[in-house]
Structure 1
Amino acid sequence: MPGPKDLDPSSSPRALLGAELRHARENAGLSQDALGLKLFVSGSFIGQLEAGTRRMQPDFAAQIDEILGTNGFFQRNCAAANRSRYPDHFAEAAESEAVATTIKEYAPLLIPGVLQTERYAREVFRAYQPTATEDVIDGLVEARLARGHILDDPTTPLLWAVLDEAVLRRRVGGPAVMAEALQHVAVLGRAHRVIVQVLPFAAGAHSSMGGALKLMDFKDAPPVAYFEGPGTGQLHDDPATVKHYELSYDLLVASALPPNDSLALIEAVAEDDAHEDRDH
């Protein structure tokens, strides 16, 4: 019996690979838990592979082909499914973000990527890579702005961001760029498309001082937590670890300004930046 056709890398390859895994597993009469046992992973991990929220690594692809009798299909298509425009440490998180139903994010230094404007993103990447060519920076900015399209749907995902006050005060690109960037966040908040809170400096020590935190929920897969530092990132799906980071986020929310007060502060800082830009 012929195996499935190879995937077209131009059409959501990871989601297609996950769909093929579910189809092949069900044809073999195996539950997610049963396949997980054969691979020495949890059934929830198999669910994440099928939902496209986790990457299928080459060694897993080879074992899956052997167990499910798929004639090397998953090995052949693993590389295409894992191809990404994002840095390695962030690729899995960014691609999971695209299929999440809920995203809760703490941003200690920068406006979250999905909320950034073009000029703000360009300044961030130029600071990261001061000697990069314009073509390289253009590609990075394009990839970042593409992430923002997850907000094109008026209801999904639910995005709830807690911004440290430092995000508002650090003038990335100068007052004009910051005014535009903060106004963009405020407009989305006032339109009820996102929930935004500001964690004020007055809150003092808090539960996520080590770096950025992102929590994601999915329709057909267990939740994950992504903890990010400079040039590094870790995606966690262990239930106890995710629960720990969920508590950290809840504590941040409890210490942050209410949403209406947060939007008022964001708008006030944006107006200060715009006023200074006009004066110059």
Structure 2
Amino acid sequence: MAGIPSVQRRRLAAELRARREAADLTIDQVIQKVKVGKSTLSRVENAQVSVTPRTVTHLLRLYGVSDEDVEALVQLAREAQQYNWWHDYSNAMPHELAEYVAFEDEATQLRAYNVQLVNGLLQTTDYARAIISAEFPDGPAAKVEERIEVRLVRQKILDRPNPPRMWFVLDEAVLHRPVGGPHVMAEQLEHLIAIGQRPAITVQVLPFRQGAHMGMGVSFTMLDFSNHPTVVYQENLSGALYLDKDYHVETHGLAFDHLRATALSPADTLAFLRMRAEAMLAQGARESPE
């Protein structure tokens, strides 16, 4: 299946390319001995398309791979062919977001720092609607609702029996911007209080009083996997960046460690969120017509 590659497909592609190179074979040499087209093999090695377990077996035998490794990689090929939920929403998401969702869905740990908005995994429906409506002011209502649905389906990851470990650091600015109005924002803050008490989730607020810090002005998410290198994701108005070089991962990892060490403790964060929720409710009461 073409489309957005899963982590399994990416890992299999990297393994097949590495095993071919270790066997000192070119793609042209391989296609003379295995029934696969040159462009197809190239796309397989770049994770653009999936490949059948049978073809994987033929390739690995040609590369002189051990029986044990062949068995493991053939199983990986089977996993890479599995249908994933995000394929149902491929028309509702830009390519960059769909690629991120594929990573997010398979991560074992997620570390996120957000400067302006509550992370998508933690958003309420009304908060998400306010954001998406603002991002697409001229978009059809049906398209907005479709994107909201995608965001809510993503959040099912939080309710898995064994959810990934998640650590969110929110700049205090996130708590002051009344997205959707004071009442919507108060509901969102209450949701953060509730979700921040889950065992696998840590929420911290980085207060204004801490002044300058390593992550100023740059939101980012780090995705860790059991069998794939860590990926750093940064979103912008026209697309997104995926960074996986050691330098990028180490730099962002250091920054995140600094951020969570500088932020309020999880317990103090809950108290701070409660204070901000009450402030938003009071603001809403003042703004409501008598």
User: Could you tell me the TM-score, scaled by structure 1's length?
Assistant: 0.74
1:168 aligns with 175
2:121 aligns with 114
Question: Which secondary structure does the structure 1 equivalent of 2:221 belong to?
Answer: strand
Pick aligned residue for 1:157 from 135, 140, 164: 164
Which amino acid is the alignment partner of residue 18 of structure 1? Answer: R
- Unpaired runs of 5+ in structure 1? 1-6, 41-55
2:143 aligns with 136
**Correspondence 1:23-102 to 2 at 5 A:** 33-35=18-20, 60=46, 84=90, 85-102=92-109
Between the aligned residues of both structures, percent identity stands at 33
Which amino acid is the alignment partner of residue 89 of structure 1? Answer: E
**What number of residue pairs does the alignment pair up?**
243
Bigger Cα Rg: 2
**Contact 2:5–2:48 under 8 Å retained in 1:** no
Q: Distance in 1 between matches of 2:124 and 2:25?
A: 43
Question: Which secondary structure does the structure 2 equivalent of 1:228 belong to?
Answer: strand
1:123 aligns with 130
Pick aligned residue for 1:223 from 225, 230, 233: 230
1:200 aligns with 207
Q: Distance in 2 between matches of 1:13 and 1:63?
A: 9
1:105 aligns with 112
**Contact 1:211–1:228 under 8 Å retained in 2:** no
Q: Distance in 2 between matches of 1:182 and 1:15?
A: 33
Distance change (3 Å), C-alpha of 1:164 and 1:33: same
User: Could you tell me the TM-score, scaled by structure 2's length?
Assistant: 0.72
Q: Deviation string for 1:198-253 (max 9, x for gaps)?
A: 01111222212242110111111111111223333111111221111101111111
1:18 aligns with 9
Which amino acid is the alignment partner of residue 145 of structure 1? Answer: L
Distance change (3 Å), C-alpha of 1:217 and 1:61: closer
Q: Distance in 2 between matches of 1:39 and 1:146?
A: 44
Q: CA RMSD in A?
A: 3.6
User: 4+ runs of 1 displaced by more than 6 Å?
Assistant: 62-65
Q: Distance in 1 between matches of 2:260 and 2:100?
A: 22
Distance change (3 Å), C-alpha of 1:183 and 1:221: same
Distance change (3 Å), C-alpha of 1:36 and 1:230: farther
2:32 aligns with none
Q: Deviation string for 1:94-150 (max 9, x for gaps)?
A: 210111010000000000000001000000011111111110110111111111111
Distance change (3 Å), C-alpha of 1:249 and 1:172: same
- Unpaired runs of 5+ in structure 2? 27-41, 60-76
Report deviation, 1:154: 4.8
